[in-house]
Amino acid sequence: MKETKGPTKSEWPMRINKYLAHKNYATRRGADTLISAGKVFLNGKKATLGDQVNENDEVTLKDFKAADYVYYAYYKPSDVVTLSATQNEKSIGDVVEFPEKVFPLGRLDKDSEGLLIMTNDGRLTDKLLNPANDHEKEYYVEVDRPITHEFLVKMSQKIDIGIHVTKKSKVRRADKNSFDIILSEGKNRQIRRMCGVLGFGVKKLKRFRIMNIALGKLKPNQFRKLSTRELSALFKSIGLS
């Protein structure tokens, strides 16, 4: 298993669950489960929750079996809530049933549609969603009136959307009322807020790519397993392989 970039000297000592997460064995919560099950040893002795690991310590695992992780590309329809649906709303679990218990990596707002990665692998959450990592996500956006060259230029620059000043983005015209945009961050309703600042309303917003994972031929509410090639490229780009 390929390790992520090692801890800096200032991080030692570190809690043993953080150490195991650094080594990509599990999330911190998953590491606590392994420790509680007596499968983790620190310098030859059974580890306990809260143990501190120093740089030269030896940490080993006994009877460790990697989790059976699954990864799906899913086309979320509009009017479906990614997380925390209210009584009058539909969540992903209300409209589709996956073979395993999975959760979405990130979200799309209720009015938006398109690609979500669904998985049971919690190791991906911060690696994929942390805005400091600059992972690309690409969207198709249809607005309520013809777009101009000036609009496209301004959309590509930093924009103060009230809750945040956006990073620069990559924008290209699709037709007279629509464009594609590539973001490396994902603030709440960011594209809608960006358009609103420039006086445009969004009629349709569809995400069709997350890094190397593309929506492809999926239709609303369909899903497919990610291929070995897709996973290999994804894991390599986030330092998890």
- Dihedral sign for Cα 48, 57, 44, 3, please: positive
End-to-end Cα distance, the chain: 6
| Token pair in block for residue 134 | 């600059």
Q: How far is Cα 152 from Cα 4, in angstroms, rounded to an integer?
A: 37
Q: Among 57, 109, 111, 180, which one carries the catalytic annotation?
A: 109
Q: Is 79 known to be catalytic?
A: no
DSSP the chain: -PPPSPPPGGG-SEEHHHHHHHTTS--HHHHHHHHHTT-EEETTEE--TT-EE-TT--EEESS-------EEEEEEPTTEESS---TTSEEHHHH---SS--EEES---TT-EEEEEEES-TTHHHHHH-GGG---EEEEEEESS---HHHHHHHHS--B-SS-BPPP-EEEEEETTEEEEEES---TTHHHHHHHHTT--EEEEEEEEETTEE-TT--TT-EEEPPHHHHHHHHHHHT--
Among the listed residues 66, 61, 40, the one whose alpha carbon sits nearest the alpha carbon of residue 51: 40
Query: Which residues are part of the catalytic machinery?
Result: 109
